[in-house]
Chain A
Amino acid sequence: MLIQQLLNGLVVGGVYALFAVGFNLVFGIQRLLNLAHGAIFMTGAFVAYYTVAAGWPLWVGFILAAIGSGVLAMLIEIVCFRRLRKSGDAEFGAIISSVGASLVIMTVWQWISKTQIVRFPFETFPVIIFRFWGLRVSALQLFMAGAALVIVVLMAWFVYRTSFGRRVRAVTGNEKAAMLVGVNPNRIYNQTYFLSGALAGASGVLVGLAFNNINYMMGEPYLMFGFVIIILGGLGSIPGALLASLIFGMVQTLTIAFLPSGLTNAFIFFAMFLILLIRPNGLMGKEEAGALRGRR
């Protein structure tokens, strides 16, 4: 029972990782919180659903969802953040601006879905259940874990082993110095947001498949969980977000299994509060990420 729960938690954690790594990637590079990330995530789920509903196979929906969400995230950066970054007070402004973007996206999907919950047709993903060592693992869970793993590894390779990744890290470190050596920060921002959005979209599809409940409000709880994960892992740290997602997935499934229902959220957010107090930089955040730093 316990091991089964831990396994389920790991799978869920993998999906959270897709969401949180993108969230943290953006925070790491611009020091801005993109509160529209939940709405981008939901967009992924909806795009995949409507593609499948139109008769296309699931993998087409998956790719379209990733591309669509990526483009949406890029648009958000251009429309909501670009002007703000040039003014001084982007930290506050970005939160307001991205909440605005989130509201707009949610309303649009509310209209398209007519405030209904939509579900993937039965057997969009074949229901196969493997049993071994007394554990039950569905093919979907395997697919989720596999997809999460592949995507995260790909992304890590991108960020740490390619020229693109070097440019991203250069801009993260020092935007002006990066410009001096011929990196166009705006282009890097576009690419990073695309990547972050595509990851969110992919996790949206996986969550949509797993719980088969897609609605215009589905992004909100994940945004909240995203907060907990990036605080636990350390704001701006990608490996931290990865580790924290897995821990969070397991802790969440365990609390759901063993705590009275209804207390799960209170417990999770209280735990986050404690982390903020005791170790505001999280597991792997760098000191300069600076929770305790004075505002500039």
Chain B
Amino acid sequence: MSNTILGYIPLLDLFFLHLGLAFSQWIVLRAGVFSLATVGLAAIGAYTAGIIATKTGIPAPLGLLAGAFTGMAAALLLSWPLARLRGVYQAIATVAFLQIILSLNIYFEGLTGGAMGLNSIPKSVGTLTLFAATAGTVYLMVAITHSRIGRAFDAIRQNEAVAASLGVSITGHQALAFAISGALAGLFGALEAYHSYALVPTQFGFQYLIAIMSYVVLGGRNTVLGPIVGTAILILLPEIARPLAEARMLVYGLLLILVINFLPKGITDTLVDMLKARNLARRKVAAETAETRS
């Protein structure tokens, strides 16, 4: 029994690592920023941690902090130009950012190991650390959702003009969302560095970006539960149906098309909306019967 559980530990680690990045993507989408920069920011965090671990003797916790911090700093820098852009233009600009990171990464060979990547990073992050980081992230997300900031994010996403007219600073809040996203991406990138011994530049490419995006789109973009459900499904799916593992990209592709067309809000958001509608209908019926009685 314990063996079967142990066999799934790598999967669980993968789930935590990807979930962290999924939340990094989720929080910017939530604030109405159309950014695809998460993977690039994660690369920054991962390489910061990796370089610290292999070139200096600084202990891992500080490396993680440094990863989160550089991720956040890069995100803040990026948020300044992005604030001037909207929609498709933001998406294109962030894809350009990812390309810049990828090619600089290969160019600065002395620092990042170039195309060979960084090897023999001492492993100092286990499942427990990953769990703690993810739990902390989920708590933070729930807290944000229920705070004024979360409501401001929702307002901006739904209608910028209205949000601005209500005195919600759009640039300020989007920069904040970006900073949180960058810190999360940097942190989980650093965790990945300390968890998987080695980093290669191709790892933080377009495919990773698509995977992270799929988690959020499939799960749902407006509830904290969304990325959790989406990540769990897409990580477990190839394990449950082995033949699917080979066609992972095909499955992702088909899922993206089907979900965005037929379930545009994602699984959890659709369910939550359905439950809400049902409750409302029930309450309405109750109110009407109460009226007729009185």
Contacts and interface: CB of A to CB of B under 8 A. Distances in A.
A292 B261 contact: no
B84 A277 contact: yes
A217 B102 CA distance: 17
Contact of B85 (A31, A228, A291): A291
B97 interface: yes
B277 interface: no
Contacts of B102: 265
B254 A104 contact: yes
Given A224-B99, A235-B88, A266-B107, A97 B256 contact: yes
A295 B32 contact: yes
**Interface size class, chain A:** 35 or more
A269 B100 contact: yes
A276 B96 CA distance: 11
A83 interface: yes
Interface in B135-176: 160-161
Given A107-B253, A266-B100, A276 B92 contact: yes
A294 B213 contact: no
Nearest to B88: A33
B61 interface: no
B8 interface: no
Interface stretch (B192-200, B227-235, B244-252, B284-292): B244-252
B86 A101 contact: no
Contacts of B261: 80, 83-84, 93, 97
B206 A294 contact: no
Interface in B229-280: 247, 249-250, 252-257, 260-262, 264
Contacts of A157: none
Nearest to B253: A103
Given A92-B34, A227-B92, A266-B103, A291 B86 contact: yes
Task: Tell me what chain A mostly uses at the interface: helix, strand, loop, or mixed.
Answer: helix
B125 interface: no
Contacts of A290: 86
B126 interface: no
Interface string B73-107: 00000000100111111011101110110111011
Given A100-B252, A101-B257, A273 B34 contact: no
A79 interface: yes
Contact of B253 (A95, A101, A220, A293): A101
Interface string A273-296: 100110010000000001111110
Interface string A51-94: 00000000000000000000000000001100110010101110
A251 interface: no
A35 to B, nearest CB: 9
A276 B255 CA distance: 32
Contacts of B100: 265-266, 269-270, 273
Contacts of B89: 231, 235, 276, 280, 291
B225 interface: no
Contact of A104 (B34, B91, B96, B253): B253
Nearest to A276: B93
A6 B213 CA distance: 40
A79 B261 CA distance: 9
Contacts of B253: 99-104, 107
A100 B81 contact: no
A107 B96 contact: no
A269 B250 contact: no
Contact of B254 (A31, A100, A277): A100
Given A92-B34, A273-B97, A295-B86, A97 B260 contact: yes
Contacts of A277: 81, 84
Contact of A292 (B85, B96, B256): B85
A17 interface: no
Contacts of A280: 84-85, 89
A93 B34 CA distance: 11
A273 B86 contact: no
A241 interface: no
Given A100-B252, A100-B253, A100-B260, 5 more contacts: A83-B261, A263-B103, A265-B99, A265-B103, A272-B96
10 contacts: A33-B92, A83-B262, A91-B88, A95-B91, A96-B256, A99-B253, A103-B249, A107-B247, A228-B96, A273-B81
Query: Top 6 A-B pairs ranked by shortest CB distance?
Result: A103-B253, A100-B256, A100-B257, A104-B253, A265-B103, A107-B250
